């Protein structure tokens, strides 16, 4: 395929006129997350029902097996819900203007993991009618599941709407698009951009892209941007650690 010609967009460079939008359906992802979390709680209730003898389903299956299966299914849905929720947050993040809402948005996966396993752990530790083996194995499985669920639920790289607006919504960032496309791109070599039959790639600011009807940022480009930013942060952290160690060694000498 011949290399496409890059031309500048007409008019002045402008910042985003509206809230920066990333390609994707954040609302659909959040609905999916809640469905998964509700199913996780259902399996938690089933586990408690089996342990308390109030649920007599699967009579041919041992108590230990039923407990472990329900806890594993609980964990699967907790993790799935958290992954969907975090993905939605990076498409449509919360604003830092409301500190409580921002904190809840970025820690909801951890909260749901706690709700899905802590009641089981408390029940296992306080119920005197369960045999020691069931209590020990159940507690270990539930604690491990809580740790895994909390790890997947925690967002190590949270983003706010203000941060997104500052990084991607200012007039200095270069975007790329084609006349027939519906998205703007952060990289001129994006696979979706170059799949177009258009011979020219237009470049300009996010404001110019909005005026051209390309105000939504390609999710593939956003993922690449996040990876590169994380790599830069890691490199900067390693450099700082190395510098600190060198200074400490020189001071000791």
What value does the CA radius of gyration of the chain take, rounded to a whole number of Å? 25
Q: What is the pLDDT of residues 189-207, one digit of tens each?
A: 998 888 888 778 999 999 9
146 near 118, Cβ under 8 Å?
yes
CA–CA separation, 152 and 165 (whole Å) = 26
User: How many whole angstroms separate alpha carbon 185 and alpha carbon 209?
Assistant: 10
33: its two tokens: 């997350």
What is d(CA 220, CA 40) in angstroms, rounded to the nearest whole number?
30
pTM greater than 0.85: no
Please give the pLDDT value at position 249.
66
Q: Which residues share a beta bridge with 7?
A: 202
Cα distances (Å, whole numbers) of residue 151 to 24, 82, 107, 181: 24, 10, 11, 38
DSSP conformation letters of 10-74: SS-----SS--EESS-HHHHHHHHHHHHHHHHHHHHHHHHHHHT----STTS-HHHHHHHHHHHH
Specify the range with the lowest mean pLDDT, choosing from 45-49, 147-151, 224-228: 224-228
Residues 48 and 123: beta-carbon distance below 8 Å: yes
Q: For residue range 161-190, what is the model confidence (pLDDT) as tens digits? A: 898 888 888 899 999 999 888 899 999 999
The pLDDT of residue 37 is 97
Map residue 195 onto helix, strand or coil. Answer: coil
Q: How confident is the model at residue 47 (pLDDT cuts 50, 70, 90)?
A: very high
Q: What is the mean pLDDT of residues 122-131?
A: 90
pLDDT tens by residue, 50-89: 888 787 787 777 888 999 999 999 999 999 999 999 999 9
Give the pLDDT confidence score for residue 251 in this predicted structure: 65
> What is the overall mean pLDDT for the chain?
89
| 9-46 pLDDT tens trace | 888 998 988 888 888 889 999 999 999 999 999 999 99
């Amino acid at each position: 395929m011949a290399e496409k010609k890059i031309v500048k967009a007409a008019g002045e460079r402008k910042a985003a006129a509206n809230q920066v939008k990333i390609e994707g359906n954040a609302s659909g992802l959040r609905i999916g997350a809640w469905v998964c979390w509700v199913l996780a709680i259902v399996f938690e209730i089933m586990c408690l029902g089996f342990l308390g003898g109030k649920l007599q389903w699967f009579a041919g299956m041992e108590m230990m097996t039923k407990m472990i299966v329900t806890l594993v299914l609980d964990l699967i849905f907790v993790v799935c819900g958290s992954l969907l929720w975090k993905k939605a947050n990076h498409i449509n993040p919360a604003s830092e203007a409301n500190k409580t809402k921002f904190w809840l948005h970025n820690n909801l996966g951890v909260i749901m993991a706690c709700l899905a396993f802590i009641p089981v752990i408390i029940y296992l530790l306080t119920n005197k009618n369960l045999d020691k083996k069931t209590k020990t194995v159940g507690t270990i499985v539930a604690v491990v599941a809580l740790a895994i669920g909390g790890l997947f639920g925690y967002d190590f790289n949270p983003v706010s709407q203000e941060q997104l607006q500052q990084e991607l919504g200012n007039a200095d960032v270069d975007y790329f698009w084609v006349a027939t496309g519906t998205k703007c791109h952060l990289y001129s070599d994006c696979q979706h951009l170059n799949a177009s039959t258009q011979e020219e790639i237009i470049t300009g600011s996010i404001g110019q892209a909005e005026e051209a009807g390309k105000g939504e940022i390609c999710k593939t480009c956003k993922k690449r941007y996040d990876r590169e930013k994380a790599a830069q942060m890691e490199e900067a952290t390693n450099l700082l650690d190395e510098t600190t160690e060198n200074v400490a060694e020189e001071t000791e000498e």
